[in-house]
Structures are given as C-alpha cells and as structure tokens.
Amino acid sequence: MPELPEVETVRRGLTPAMEGQIIARAEVNRADLRWPFPARMAERLTGCRVLRLRRRSKYILVDLDRGETLLVHLGMSGRMTVSGDPLGQFVRTHPAAQKHDHVVFHMGNGARITFNDPRRFGAMDLLETRTAEQHKLLAVLGPEPLGNDFNETGLIAAFHGRQSPVKSVLLDQKVVAGLGNIYVCEALYRASLSPRRKAANIAAARVGALVPIIRQVLSEAIDAGGSSLRDFRQADGELGYFQHCFDVYGREGQPCRSPGCSAKIRRITQSGRSSFYCAQCQR
C-alpha cells in the first residue's frame, strides 16, 4: 500500500494539471471501490474548479470551489496518472481506456486524470470542506511527520508507558500519521533501534532522535519519487526510485551496510507484517 512519500509524490504530480483548473467532465465507471461512491459524484464534480490539492496522512484531499472536498485513497493498487497535460510536463498522449479506469477527470485545460485500481481497495468520498477534518477517517489521525506538530516532546509522551514494540507504536496512525512498514523499518535502522524493543524501555533521548531521522527518510523518499515495489507509479506513470536506497527493507539475508558490521539483515513477523533489521546494529 502506498505510504506517505508515494501519496505526496502523486499529489505533487497532479497539482500542475489540476490546481486552479475546472473539471470539465467527471466520468465514474462503477458504483463503488472499497465502499460506494457518494451519490451523484460525477454530477457534483463536473464543472467544479479545483482550488487546492493537499495531503493528510495517506489521503489526497482536493478542495473544490463549491465547498466540497474530494477525498482520495489509493488503496493497494490504485494509480492516478496524468495525460495530455498542456503545460508540457507530461509527454504521454491520452491512452486508450483500460478495464480498471474507474474514475476519470477530463480537465478544462486538456489534461486527463485517470484513477485506475485493479484490486479496488482504493476509495473516494466527498466531504464538506469546512468540516473535512472531522471526517471519521481524518479525525483520528496523529500529527504529520513533516509538520511542526510532530516533535520530540510529543513523541516521547506517546512512547511513555507503551509496552508494545516500537515498530507497532510508530505504525499507529494516532501517534504519527502516514508512516507505513517500509519507512518505519528504514528509520529504525538509521536510529539503531531494534523493532522488537518495547517503546516504554527506550530512553527519551533516543525517542527524540527519531523525529529528525523519520523526517529525513521521508524527505529522501519523496525526492526519489517514492518506492515502487509492485503497483505504485508516479502521476506521470514513471516508477519511484527509493527502493534502490533501502538499507534493510526487503533485504533479508543480505549483508548489513553499516561499516564494519558483519551481520546479515533479518526478517521477523510483527502483527502480521515483516520487519527487517540488523540484530547487531539495532538494539
């Protein structure tokens, strides 16, 4: 499932083609994805001007001039790609319609944004912009890891008394929004923390040190266009490249990259997810 860097990469790719533009025609080709589309979605979107594209955790939020916000979640296999961009940032002409093109936005500037989702775990909803942050999917989210509300004091408080492994705590979207399995594994490696360590047993200074490390990992991943492991594509259809920079994720049995370390990367299962780490470097 796309994590924060992938979703942010898509948002940035969509912005030049959508922001400030009118949705000349919205095309909805089925009744639902993970859940039913809102009533009259195509009608409500057609003719709207896109005021702003923003991101909250792993959701893209498209603010419209009629007081509604389109919430988009890519799910496991969802892609939002741009074709025919008149600004010349996307060289692809409009492709032929595909079987899993479930929602298509025909923009007034000639661009076409296609939401393709073979597994149909993605989702869209229309929210009242004024109260969007109160939506059940957004209201429970913790601070954005690249924002000022994510800080050492808050993370130390969130770890206090928690007997769960540090990996599980960082994946808790109420603690920090948008982190997923890949980037937690990479951040813990850089912090020299074992994913098995109980959060409550980690010294406050080491917890606080996670904040800049998490930000660094996410920023580097965004700069690389995210990570493409299976289905993810950027808005121009290209792959992300951060997977080539993984220190631990997906590297089970391969040598640790820390200078002087002779250990190999291990994989364990925690809460049904794979954790990759170096048992020698991460304590």
What is the DSSP secondary-structure string of 209-226?
HHHHHHHHHHHHHHHTT-
The number of helix segments (H) and strand segments (E) in the chain equals: 6, 10
152-277: in CATH 1.10.8.50:
yes
> 4-134 falls under which CATH superfamily?
MutM-like, N-terminal (3.20.190.10)
| pLDDT for 47 | 98
- pLDDT above 90 (res 203): yes
Indicate whether this model's pTM tops 0.85.
yes
Same fold, 4-134 and 152-277: no
The two three-digit tokens of residue 128, written as one number: 């009242």
106: number of CA atoms within 13 Å, CB side?
11
* 45-59, 135-149, 176-190, 237-251: segment of lowest average pLDDT: 237-251
3 state DSSP class of 45:
helix
| pLDDT for 229 | 76
Q: How confident is the model at residue 228 (pLDDT cuts 50, 70, 90)?
A: confident
Mean pLDDT of 239-246: 91
| pLDDT for 222 | 96
- pLDDT above 80 (res 230): no
| pLDDT for 96 | 84
Measured CA to CA, the distance from residue 51 to residue 63 in angstroms comes to: 5
- pLDDT above 90 (res 8): yes
The two three-digit tokens of residue 190, written as one number: 């850089």
Q: What is the pLDDT of residues 20-63, one digit of tens each?
A: 999 999 999 999 999 999 999 999 999 999 999 999 999 999 99
CA torsion, points 180, 185, 190, 191, in degrees to nearest 10? Answer: 80
Mean pLDDT of 172-181: 97
Measured CA to CA, the distance from residue 226 to residue 183 in angstroms comes to: 10
- pLDDT above 80 (res 146): yes
The two three-digit tokens of residue 131, written as one number: 């109260």
| pLDDT for 85 | 62
- Indicate the average pLDDT of the chain: 94
Q: What is the pLDDT of residues 71-97, one digit of tens each?
A: 999 998 999 999 986 666 555 678 888
| pLDDT for 68 | 98
Report, as residue numbers or ranges, the catalytic residues.
Answer: 2-3, 58, 273
User: How many residues does the structure list for the chain?
Assistant: 283
Nearest residue to 71 (alpha-carbon basis) of 49, 104, 40, 38: 38
- pLDDT above 70 (res 14): yes
| pLDDT for 238 | 81
| pLDDT for 92 | 61
Domain ranges of the chain: 4-134, 152-277
The two three-digit tokens of residue 118, written as one number: 């073979």
- pLDDT above 80 (res 106): yes
- Helices 204-223 and 181-190, packing angle to 10 deg: 120
Mean pLDDT of 189-195: 98
Which amino acid is residue 155, in one-letter code?
L
Q: How confident is the model at residue 280 (pLDDT cuts 50, 70, 90)?
A: very high
99: number of CA atoms within 13 Å, CB side?
3
| pLDDT for 224 | 94
| pLDDT for 19 | 97
Rounded percentage of the chain residues whose pLDDT exceeds 70: 97
CA torsion, points 34, 40, 41, 42, in degrees to nearest 10? Answer: 120
Place of tokens 């025919």: 84
